[in-house]
């Protein structure tokens, strides 16, 4: 079954924050991790991902820093979650659980 991307669109920040809770990552790593974790069922478009990262950085949920060059390549911009981002992520998890429980009451009856 294909996932309606509009359903997940409002949860892009939460998806990215969930990954950053585990480790600092750069853009390509984030996109690749989303694809792998969803077993290829969901992909974040590059433009959408960077808009989300920029918005979260502006809102002080995450911060960025430049990593060193690996293998002689270009420097990579890494993102790390801040304490405020961790609090926001925990809130969004609770919100999702509550929403899921409400929806389940309707879906189980149908």
Number of domains present in the structure of the chain: 1
Query: Residue 44 belongs to a domain with what CATH number?
Result: 1.10.10.10
CA distance 15 to 44: 10
pTM: 0.86
CB 17 within 8 A of CB 92: yes
Q: Which domain range does residue 28 map to?
A: 5-109
In the prediction, which pLDDT does 41 show? 87
pLDDT in tens, 15-56: 999 999 999 999 999 999 999 999 998 899 999 999 999 999
């Amino acid at each position: 079954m294909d996932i309606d991307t509009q359903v997940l669109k409002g949860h892009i920040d939460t998806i990215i924050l969930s990954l950053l809770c585990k480790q600092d990552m750069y853009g390509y790593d984030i996109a690749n991790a989303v694809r792998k974790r969803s077993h290829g069922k969901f992909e974040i478009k590059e433009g959408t991902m960077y808009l989300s990262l920029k918005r979260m950085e502006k809102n002080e949920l995450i911060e960025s820093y430049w990593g060193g060059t690996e293998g002689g390549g270009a420097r990579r911009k890494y993102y790390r979650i801040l304490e405020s981002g961790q609090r926001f992520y925990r809130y969004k998890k609770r919100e999702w659980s509550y929403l899921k429980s409400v929806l389940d009451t309707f879906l189980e009856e149908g």
